[in-house]
Amino acid sequence: MQVDQTLDCKGLSCPMPIIKLAKTIKKMNSGEVLEMIGTDPGSKTDVPAWCEKTGNIFMEQTEDGGAFKFYIKKK
Amino acid sequence: MFKKGVLRELFDGLFGKSWPMWVGGILLALLNILLFVIKYPWGGSGGYISIGQNLFQSLGATNIGTKIPINLHTVALLNIFIVLGAFISSLFSKEFSIKVAPIGELVKGLIGGALMGIGATVGIGCTIGGFFSGVPALSGGALFLSLGFMLGTIVALKYLLWEMEALPKISMGKSCTLLPGTGKKTSWQRWLGWILIAVILFIFSNYTGKGTALSKILGWHVFLGLIFGIILQRSRYCIVRAFREPFMTGESSAPVAIIISILVVLIGFTVLKYFGVGNAGETAVRAIEMKSVYANFWLRALLGGFIFGLGMTLAGG
């Protein structure tokens, strides 16, 4: 998968990851993929819910050593 | 006997994935009604005031109100065992790790927490006692407190958005995660969880074994704290989200979950008051009507709620 931009949200807790995600996606072009890295377990439900609400495409989620990676394609 | 593996499946089902917030909301609502039967409706900030009084008195402060030892204070005990219960739940679900946020975030947490302490003291109540119990108890003060929460949340959210543009460095910087719960060698987390459950059950039986009315009430607060903590951790029931999401993402699952649970508590409290069940039965009808109805009717409730709302959104979590 080609990643166009990476957003580091490690150590941040609710609501900062979603605020940062919204701001970053806003500046990206349609069809580009964002990789978001975070450690807040709440993001596992928040990020897919945010994508559904905003119409962006939630592609994949991986987990490694306590950090989560989310891949989101801008609509 | 259970077929081998059924209990394990149940355990994995409970702690494998998070619960919908409305499920947590209904369970917490039922527990809140149970707390009203046992003693008083659920509260939070009163316990922290007690812990603060004990702490500052031990440091030599005087003239800080009547002090009740923490181990005899129902709300303080409940708070402590809610934290432990949530800790156990995060161990069981292997979500536990120590996450150290960037320094700017830690400072915001400290300031937010202090604002919450001030707000809860000015307005008498927090999102639990003043909102989750206060609104269903039909307290006028609770309505003004809730309005204050909403205004504080809007202002703090505006600040966070401004901060992202103007001072992005605050939420960047070094962070680290210790003891991650995923990956190899994590079975110690579940063992530690079981040991803590055994310790809490021992403390519970110690309280109830004393046999006096007060020690029984205290014991049940220990046990219910454990259950509250597990439900809160699994469902991520968060009242801040309900106040914040309408102004942030427009997502409605948190507000809906909170409205459902408030309705359940409202019905439960009204039945308890009407029939004078439990603790409410000890007092005259007029006094029952006043239970959990705060004296800080409007200006202080509004101001306290505003300060608390600022703090809770700033601190996050």
Structure confidence by residue, pLDDT tens digits, B14-52 = 998 889 999 999 999 999 999 988 888 898 988 998 998
Confidence at residue B287, expressed as pLDDT on a 0 to 100 scale: 47
Confidence at residue B261, expressed as pLDDT on a 0 to 100 scale: 96
Whether this prediction's pTM lies above 0.80 is answered by yes
**Calculated CA dihedral for residues B217, B78, B305, B124, nearest 10 degrees:** 40
Answer whether B153's CB lies under 8 Å from B243's CB.
yes
ipTM: 0.86
Domain ranges of chain B: 16-60+67-315
Q: What is the mean pLDDT of chain A?
A: 90
CA atoms within 13 A on the CB side of A13: 20
Structure confidence by residue, pLDDT tens digits, A2-35 = 899 999 998 888 889 999 999 999 999 999 999 9
Q: How far apart are CA B314 and CA B112, in angstroms?
A: 5
Closest residue in A to B102 (Cα) is: A11
Q: How far apart are CA B143 and CA B292, in angstroms?
A: 13
A75 is written with which tokens? 């609509």
Contact flag A20-B164 (C-beta cutoff 8 Å): yes
A1 vs chain B: nearest CA distance in angstroms? 24
Catalytic residue (choose from A14, A16, A19, A57): A14
What averages of pLDDT result for each successive group of 10 residues across chain B (317 residues)? Answer: 74 89 96 89 89 89 80 93 96 87 92 95 89 89 92 95 86 78 72 95 94 91 96 93 88 91 94 72 50 68 95 90
Residues across chain B: 317
Residue A51 annotated as catalytic: no
Answer whether A7's CB lies under 8 Å from A19's CB.
no
Q: How far apart are CA B43 and CA B263, in angstroms?
A: 17
Interface membership of B283 toward A (CB under 8 Å) = no
